[in-house]
Amino acid sequence: MGIIDSRADHGITLQTKDSSYHMAVDGYGYLRHLYYGKRLEPEDLFYLYRNYDRGFSGNPRPAGNDRTYSLDAVCQEFSTSGVGDYRIPALRVMNADGSRIADLRYVSHEIRDGKYALPGLPAVRDTDGDTQTLEVVLRDEPSKLTVRLLYGVFEKKNMITRAVIYENTGDKPIVLEKAGSCCLELPFGNWDLLHFHGRHNRERAPERVPVLHGIQTIGSGRGMSSHQHNPFVILCDRLATEDHGDCYGLMYLYSGSFRAEIEGEPYGSVRAVMSPGDESFRWTLQPGAQFAAPEVLMSRADGLTKLSQQYHKAVRENICRGEYSLAHRPVLINSWEAAYFDISAERILKLAGQAASLGIELFVLDDGWFRGRKDDNAGLGDWEYDPEKLPEGLDHLIAGIRETGMLFGIWVEPEMVNEDSDLYRAHPDWALAAPGRKPARGRNQLVLDLSRVDVQDYIIQFMTNLLTKYDISYIKWDFNRSVADVYSHLLPAEQQGEVAHRGILGLYRVLETLTARFPKVLFEGCAGGGGRFDAGMMYYTPQIWGSDDTDPIERLTIQKGTSFGYPLSMVGAHVSIAPNHQTGRTTPISTRAAVAMTGAFGYELDLSLITAEEQAEIRRQVQEYREDEQLIQRGLYYRLGEDTEGMDAFSWLLVSEEQDQALLTVVATATHGNAPLIHVRFKGLDPAALYELREDDLVRSGAALMNAGYTLPQLTGDYPAFRLHLKRVQNGAGKEE
Ligand code: GLA
């Protein structure tokens, strides 16, 4: 099982169900990466690598006169800098003497049952009981910087986690200028990089590009994982499709600035390095001190679909926590697009009454409810209800909502402050700002300095008061600007490069404390939509608002991109009004729901503005979502885009693990006269079973549906959606169900 130690060739093999990851110490004491691919039994894999005298790629001292051995040309398990490997380093230091050299050599390793701990950071949990840990110790002897490479092997899930602990075991300070979490080398082949980029209102659009000679960097310097680049990348064979080809994923459990660097190097291999922070990162390790680099979740599969499904399962079962990670999620209505800042008790209670009568289960009072919050110029920091908007108090409003039978949830943005607030007037030094400089505003607000324990404690305190005093079942935790003016008043000049990461550690401490203290509260993450949509946040918030763009046609791309790494069941997705507030587009309410129903479903519109027929439709939709919920939450997700490419349509499929239910959704982004009919092939069904096609009154075998496929009726009108429920009526053994 798990990790195999073959001392004969100094090799260590990490075995999962379908993959093997092999490293070994070579004769010169360097830890070499030898293989990551389809599972094989351990053997000596050094034969793969033939050394040549490579011009201008020098030779390390332990190699003596061997001009064919160069650190610049061999695959490293953990790349370093200053010693003649000129490719991307995972580690860059500044030693006490000013040199930037770290010559990492193998010292020892240890294999343990269970998963290593990573205190203060989100980490994939060992919920499967089959996890093992490998810890490899490397050291730079002159400085005595000790680097502990940690690997968690999740055998059944085909997952390997990686993290690194840096420890100064010397007697002089060492500055970490780059403290990577992992380095992955793919020695042979032609590779594509699939990454997820975007902007506010358009997050996680997939982009597949060839890995070039040179370095491609996916990253963020915004103090948040960002709308622009998601901290998840895939390297796949240039010929890989949804169903075939080598695919590798690197998912960062980190919510701050980050870098994922991918280098196509001169001798044919590809190296990928993930590290926290941007160029401004500097961390001083005093003698005896440690630094933990955040965790990366690595996986391999044949085909993109399988890779995605492996990640979905791991995110759901091993990252998300708490009551809600797999439980029924209440269908919610959110007040934002219904009322924006224009909140009054009367307006909210009216909306709540309407929503409850349609079967909606949770009312979320969004921004605008607290003191001074007439618009986005003021109020952040003063987390008490606004008596002008709610003269009878928040308690009274909540009681009114609870009377309708709905649960109550509320919006907060705890990491921010407006200058026009009592909090800022009392503690101007709590905001990030450098002495003598006026900090940049974003959405008229400043960012609190979460590297400070007093600021963390203030957030824990006000949130505890809010959640203790009021009957609150849900929190929407927002973060509405990129970070700038990174400077903390409590740290000396030489430690300012630590502030951004310390802030993220502070956020994790706050979230850890609150989610432990209030385990029954559902926390939904948010950052102007999906600006902090990462596996680090998912450890605390099992639901994250997908995007501020609620237009279903826009959401198709967002959801597709998201689905490569993250289960859509944890993406907040709402039906909003038409014409849509972001795009002005008008779509049918059935299409809006068909798209949102793949996620954590809800509504966000003024229900007085829709017709009685649309209200009745909402009642049906809520009911249907409840019936399909298990399938949506736990089903295997298939992108069928390769079938509908060029057809102006998006299509996807959910199939239950038991293969007894499936749900096909197709949305047309344009309709044409006399057009070819859309045809899809099902996947993941039991070929020998018979399935009833609910909306088509047909019964067909899994084999026919998967091989011959299914032809849709002609779709007409603006942006039509088609949903088809499949139910197994006879299993493979011919038994009726
Ligand atoms: C962000 C969120 C929105 C809404 C507003 C409120 O933009 O993404 O959903 O909560 O803030 O100000």
614 is catalytic: yes
Catalytic-residue membership of 449: no
Whether 367 is in the pocket of ligand 1, judged by its Cβ within 6 Å, is yes
pLDDT at 641: 86
Q: Which of 167, 478, 498, 534 is catalytic?
A: 534
Determine if ligand 1 sits within 6 Å of the CB of residue 480: yes
> Which residue among 365, 366, 376 has the greatest number of ligand 1 atoms within 8 angstroms of its CB, and so is best to mutate?
366
pLDDT at 6: 74
Q: CA separation (Å) from 78 to 23, 33, 328?
A: 11, 8, 42
Residue 281 to residue 179: CA distance in whole angstroms: 9
Per-residue model confidence (pLDDT) at position 2: 85
Tell me, in angstroms, the distance from the centre of ligand 1 to residue 259's CA.
Answer: 27
Which parts of 169-257 are beta strand (E)? 174-179, 182-186, 191-199, 202-210, 214-220, 232-237, 246-252
What pLDDT does residue 370 have?
98
Q: Which of 232, 223, 224 is nearest to 204 (CA)?
A: 232
Cβ of 528 below 6 Å from ligand 1? yes
Mean pLDDT in each 10-residue stretch from start to end of the chain (737 residues)?
A: 74 96 96 97 93 94 95 97 97 98 97 96 95 98 98 98 98 98 98 98 98 98 98 98 98 98 96 98 98 98 98 97 80 98 98 98 98 98 98 98 98 98 98 98 98 98 98 98 98 98 98 97 97 98 97 98 97 98 98 97 98 98 96 96 86 98 97 94 98 96 98 97 98 89
pLDDT reported for residue 317 = 95
pLDDT at 234: 99
pTM above 0.85?
yes
Q: Write the residue with the smallest CA distance to atom 11 of ligand 1.
A: 528
Ligand 1 atom nearest to 366, measured from its CA: 10
Which two three-digit tokens encode residue 338? 């219904």
By alpha-carbon position, which residue is closest to atom 4 of ligand 1? Answer: 336
What's the pLDDT score for residue 643?
78
CA–CA distances in Å: residue 57 to residues 61, 207, 227, 265, 277: 13, 33, 39, 12, 29
pLDDT at 8: 59
The pLDDT of residue 7 is: 63
pLDDT of 645 reads 78
Q: Are 581 and 325 in contact (CB under 8 A)?
A: no
β-partners of residue 275 are 259
Residue owning the nearest CA to atom 7 of ligand 1: 528
- C-beta of 478 in contact with ligand 1 (< 6 A): yes
**How far is residue 524's CA from residue 324's CA, in Å, rounded to a whole number?**
10
Are 667 and 556 in contact by the 8 Å Cβ rule? The answer is yes
Q: Please tell me the residue having the least CA distance from ligand 1 atom 3.
A: 528
Does 638 contact ligand 1 (Cβ within 6 A)? no
Ligand 1 centre from 422 Cα, in Å? 22
Q: Which residues pair with 654 in a beta bridge?
A: 637, 663
